Structures are given as C-alpha cells and as structure tokens.
Amino acid sequence: MSEIKAVFRGADVRDEFLAVMSETFSQEAVERKRRAWDWLFKAPFRTETNPARVLTVERAGRLVGGVFLLPTEVTLDGVPTPAVLPIGNNIRPNDRGAGIVTLKTCFNLGHGGITVGLASSDRLSAVWTKLGAAESPPRALCRKLYRPGSFLALRGRLPRMLGGPLDAVFRLPLAIIGIMRPSPRKTERIVPIETFGPEFDTAWEAARPSVKCAISRTSAHLQWRHIESPFPAGRCLALYRDRKLAGYVAITIAPTGSGPAGRVTDIFAYTGTARDDGLLLAAAD
C-alpha cells in the first residue's frame, strides 16, 4: 500500500475537497461548505504563522481526505492565545491510516497556540446516529434532546402515550424560568446591531481580563461571523445600560416543518451577570 502524506493546500483545492466530502457527508452539508469556502479563508484571526488553509491527506498523488484549519483566537484566563479550529474533517472510508495522519498533523502544527477539538468516540457517534445525525440538521437534533419522552417512545423504551406528558414535565422548569426573566429598566435598552464597530472592542478589552475561556470577541471577528457570513444571523441585538454597551445576542431564524425556529448562535454579557444574560435571552424571544 502506498505511503500516506499530509499536504497543506489553499483555496484552489475546493472542488477536490468537496468531492471527497460528498462520499461521507450529506449533499446539504457539502453545499453549505461550498457557499462558505471563500468566507472561511477571510477569517479575521489569520496570520502568517496561522493562516486559513486546508490540510489534505494524499495517497499516490490522490486526495483521500482532509480538514479545513480555521485560524481563531481563544482567550484563556484573560490571555489571547492563537488557536486552530479543524472543521469539515472527512476521510474516504476505505483509506486506512489517513485519519491518524490528519490527527497527528493537526496537533503538531507549530502555530504557537492550541488546536481546538471535540471529544468523540464510537459510543458518542452511535448516539448521534440514533438521533438522526445522518439526515437531520443540528437544530433538529438539539430539539430531540429537549423532548426525552418522544425520543424514548420512538426508541420503544416508553409507551407512546407517555411520551408527550414526559416532554411537558421536562419543559416545565424552562417555562417557569421564562416567566421569571427580568424586564429592562429605564436606563436599559435593546437595539438592533447593523455593524460591529469599535465600541465592541472597547467592551471586550474591559471584560477580557476576567474571561476564563472563550473565543475572543473582537469587533472584526463578530462582523465576520454574524454580518459577513454567507449564513448571517437573522438578528443581532445589543444591550445598553446608561448608554454603555453591556452585551449582545445573535439569533438565527430558520424554517422548519412546524414553522420558523429561532436559535441563539452567540451571546455575551460583558458584565458577566445573570441579569444581563436574562435580558439578552428575553430579547431573543
């Protein structure tokens, strides 16, 4: 069997990468990656030592897999740290050894920072498959996790007639929390965000020293992620207190079989208080 090697490529590898991706991902996922391709290469945290690039895995000159290496920045204990977020990882199923090469290369990039990953296992993969990961978008999977009764009934572990009542009991605390959400005071207001300007940098720099672990919320990152994205947030709202920026929330609205569904894709309260989080979540509703 020929040797497997890792090769760093640029935007020109798109069609080859997506062709391999189509063998293991849904067509919807492939098309989303196609739409996002050029945008990903404009990631604001990219540098000469940590560029946006694709790690491809090749055997005998043929691409058999790869992963997009998205440059980002993580603030750890108040300190900005360069990081890489591997996304769209895909390997041809019959090319043994290619996945190991990908992992080893990802964790030895030499970019002076960390590689952000998601812990996985065969057991975890089996759970997501049972939830319908092959044919359902992420938002549908999340909804199933909030309806344990329906899920257990679907798996045959609970009588169908008990599924609905169990779902209702599970959601009752969420309903109570919703009723108890705070209302804005006279000095507080929620306004739409059209662009993430310098005031977001000022607020982030003031909050950063107390941040334990988070993606750095610079204005350039927020503008790229929520405004310039090919899948922009449906609404971005800012919370002001005494005319000073106190937080923001981004909501994505997508059609579903039962009507439009909203999802909070990003939320950050610069004060770190539960009240400000509550005000932002209430505004998202």
Note the pLDDT tens digit of each residue in 85-140: 988 888 887 776 667 677 677 667 766 677 776 444 455 455 555 555 544 444 45
The whole-angstrom separation of Cα 177 and Cα 59 is: 55
Confidence check: pLDDT of 169 > 70:
yes
Half-sphere exposure of residue 142, counting CA atoms within 13 Å on the CB side? 8
Say how far residue 95 (Cα) sits from the centre of its chain.
28
The whole-angstrom separation of Cα 86 and Cα 55 is: 9
Instruction: Provide CB contacts within 8 A for 162, sequence distance 6+.
Output: 149, 153
% of the chain with per-residue pLDDT over 90? 44
pTM for the predicted model, two decimal places? 0.77
Closest C-alpha among 171, 188, 199 to residue 242: 188
Give the residue, 60 or 96, on which the prediction is more confident. 60
Phi/psi region, residue 230 (left: phi>0; alpha: psi -120 to 50; beta: rest), is alpha
Averaged pLDDT of the chain: 82
CB atoms within 10 A of CB 24: 14
Whole-number pLDDT of residue 229: 94
**Mean pLDDT on 134-163:** 62
